[in-house]
Structure 1
Amino acid sequence: MPEVTIANLSKKFAATTVLHGIDLTIEDGEFFTLLGPSGCGKSTTLSCIAGLEKPTTGSIAVGDRTFVDIAANTFVPPEGRNLGMVFQSYALWPHMTVAQNLALPLKIRKVDKQQKQSLIDDALDKVGLLHLKDRYPHQMSGGQQQRVALARALVYSPTVLLLDEPLSNLDAQLREQARTWLKRLQSELGITTVYVTHDQEEALALSDRIAVMQEGEMVQVGTPTEIYQEPATAGVAAFVGRCNFLLGRVEKTSGAGAEIVLDCNGQTIRTRTGEVEAGQAVSVAIRPERLKLLTSARTPSDGANVLKARVLNSSYIGSRHEYELQIGNQLVQVLTGRPGLGGEVALSVEPEACLPYPTTEPVSGDVADLTTLAS
């Protein structure tokens, strides 16, 4: 399967620019996810690749074939691109059986009858629905309909598979099962896949690489591990997974890291160096699972920061306990396997788990604001 190359892609709707000069290469056989909140431009990017939207500037190529080059006045319509697309709504024809839904794109491509039946059976077998080919969509569950939509996108052997939030209509348990199945199928087929979602957990679980988008720009592109553990901005740290943000000011920096005086309690902690300077106001991002709850009988000997805190409330969610704690006048969240904690506690966090960002860089409003001061 070929790679997808996007260069200087921009898109305007009237006077509003929704994509700002996107440059991106999606590797052959890669599962690549466009992740971001509503309105960030991820679906518009996918629509430009599919040919459903014409970019204002830029070019798009799949392998050695150019689909769009605005400067050269080149634009291949959707039906000439041989791309498979699955929409959020599945878009199945309700009056057609499963087999008839799959036959439609083959009919458009003038595939002969004998080959058509073989392709339909093969596509349905891939998604485990060959035995249901004579059913109508209304006779199937949401998960089965999603598989039919995927089979229809695969039946004519597309060069690239485009998926626009295909799991969002499923309930939580079925969604988790579907993404495991989808990743396995994509890996077996080796098809280059571009996936759009606002679900961070889904993106981390499925992707080879992720592009985090914000306001029409790609803020960071990397592997799931890089995106989660090495977020390029406070906005990425806030959007991808949960994150606490402790406000403070840089006292000094060195090769070993930065020393930051926290606003909430006046304590000095050590962090990674980051792109910060002495005297600068910062927000220190810390993942809830990187905060370790200590007892008075046990203190860290590895140079970790220790913060005094008070437990405000706790929740048991099966696999772990979630605690809300107060550090000085600031609230933080902690995820741990330890039950029944209350009152005054100490928190330990390694400097490498503390990521400082300039406070001039806003945190996304799409996530819970953990910098809210305790009343």
Structure 2
Amino acid sequence: MPEVKVANLSKQFGDNAVLRDISFTIADGEFFTLLGPSGCGKSTTLACIAGLERPTAGSIAVGPATFVDAGTFVPPEGRNLGMVFQSYALWPHMTVAQNLAMPLRIRKVDRRTQDELITEALGKVGLAELKDRYPHQLSGGQQQRVALARALVYSPSVLLLDEPLSNLDAQLREQARAWLKRLQEELGITTVYVTHDQEEALALSDRIAVMSRGDMVQIGTPKEIYETPATAEVAAFVGRCNFLTGTMTGPAEVRLDCTGQTVTVPEGAAPGGRVTVAVRPERLEILPPGRSAPADVNVLTAEVLTSSYIGSRYEYDLRLGDHVIQAETARPGLSGEVTLVVEPDSCLLYPTTDALPEDVAALVRT
């Protein structure tokens, strides 16, 4: 399967710039996810790759074939890309087999070969025995598999998936993403996946591109995106984070606004001046009464406000000075004043500017 190259891609609708200078390369056989909130430009990027939108500027190539460049625009039917939409877009008056036959008829594949390709594609998604059913006779998960089989039946060079699991309930979605990942690895097909679900992106992807307001903010492996988010906005969107503002008082020290206490942070993570310290809830350890904190860690005193049992752990809301933060632990029944411990290396540091996105700025101000 070929690699995908997108360079300096821009798209405007009138005066509204929905994509600004987007560039990335997807390796042969890679599962690459475009992640971001609604309106960030991820679906528009996918539509440009598919040929459903014509970019204002930039180039798109798949393997040796150039689809978009100055003076060049290959229409969707000339790109040999498979696409699955959020709605599945199955024809209700056609059986499963007839739905899969449609793209083969358009490509003028003979009837005998059609039957072989349909059987093979349905076998890949585990639905060979349902080929004579109609879409309304299938569950949501089965419809999703039919849509995927229809995208695979003509052996596309690249698979494009636009939030294909969003219509499934939570348990079925978890099962479907595990199955989808196995299938993609078995086929070795280059895949571009669009989602706003960060957990889904972390579970499925070889690499993730986080988008915001038409810009590409960070590209990296799931671990890189989660462990070392490039900006406070990425940290807020991918997983949960506590944000605490403060002032640098040394090369590796920050005095927190909420308590006036000085905490140690990774040296050189940010220069002097105003900063925002971000800490994941699971990186805050709550010590039981009577237990001493180890050396070389940050020790904070907080008050338990609420606790929630969510099966594998407890989530606590805690008051830290004039700020409310969240922590996760396996310890039940905590109340009153508690001691928090956080490793310096677990503190993420970002410059504090007035240019913080409003949704992140609200978290910092909480």
**TM superposition score category, shorter chain reference:** over 0.9
Aligned match of 1:100: 98
Moved over 3 A (4+): 361-373
Tell me the residue number matched to 1:141: 139
Q: Does 1:324 align with 2:345?
A: no
Does residue 175 of the first structure (1) align with residue 169 of the second (2)? no
Q: Secondary structure at the match of 2:88?
A: coil
Residues 60 and 67 of structure 1 are in contact (CA less than 8 Å); yes or no, is this contact kept in structure 2?
Answer: yes
Partners of 1:315 and 1:367 in 2: how far apart?
24
**Superposition TM-score, scaled by structure 1 size:** 0.95
Instruction: Tell me which residue corresponds to 1:154.
Output: 152
Whether 1:314 aligns to 2:307 is: yes
Give the conservation status (yes or no) of the 8 Å contact 2:283–2:342: yes
**Deviation, structure 1 residue 359:** 1.3
Which residue type is aligned with residue 231 of structure 2?
T
Q: Which residue identity is paired with 2:222?
A: P
Distance 1:339 1:160 in 2: 48
**Aligned: 1:272 with 2:299:** no
Question: 1:115: how far off?
Answer: 0.8
Q: Is the 8 A contact 1:274 1:355 kept in 2?
A: no
Q: How many residues align?
A: 366
1:126 aligns with 2:119: no
Structure 1 residue 273 displacement after superposition: 3.1
Q: Is the 8 A contact 1:137 1:145 kept in 2?
A: yes
Q: 1:157 to 1:366 in 2, by over 3 A?
A: farther
Question: For residue 50 of structure 1, what is the amino acid of its counterpart?
Answer: A
> Which stretches in structure 1 are left out of the alignment for 5+ residues?
none
Deviations 1:181-202 (A, max 9, x none): 0000000000000000000000
Q: 1:363 to 1:142 in 2, by over 3 A?
A: farther
Cα distance, 1:281 vs structure 2 = 1.1
Q: Which residue pairs with 1:24 in the alignment?
A: 24
Q: Shift in Å at residue 272 of structure 1?
A: 1.6
Gaps of 5+ in 2: none
CA distance in 1, matches of 2:96, 2:354: 50
Aligned partner of 1:12 in structure 2 is 12
Counterpart of 2:196 in structure 1: which amino acid?
A: H
SS in 2 for 1:310: strand
8 Å CA contact retained: 2:232, 2:360: no
Q: CA deviation at 1:296?
A: 3.7
C-alpha separation in 2, matches of 1:217 and 1:274: 27
RMSD after superposition: 1.3
Pairing 1:162-201 to 2, within 5 Å after superposition: 162-201=160-199
Give distance in 2, aligned partners of 1:363 and 1:143: 39
Note if contact 1:274-1:356 (Cα within 8 Å) is conserved in structure 2: no
Residue identity matched to 2:157: T
Q: One-letter code of the match for 1:199?
A: D
Q: Is the 8 A contact 1:234 1:285 kept in 2?
A: yes
Change in CA separation of 1:108 and 1:28 when aligned onto 2, cut-off 3 Å: same
Corresponding residue number in structure 2 for 1:65:
65
1:155 deviation in Å?
Answer: 0.2
- Superposed, 1:257-268 pairs within 5 Å as 258-268=252-262
Give me the TM-score of the superposition, normalised by structure 2: 0.98
Q: Please give the residue correspondences for 1:295-310 in structure 2 after superposition, counting only pairs within 5 Å.
A: 295-310=288-303
- For the residue of structure 2 that corresponds to 1:303, the secondary structure is coil
Contact 2:281–2:326 (CA<8 Å) still a contact in 1? yes
Q: C-alpha distance in 2, partners of 1:59/1:109? A: 26
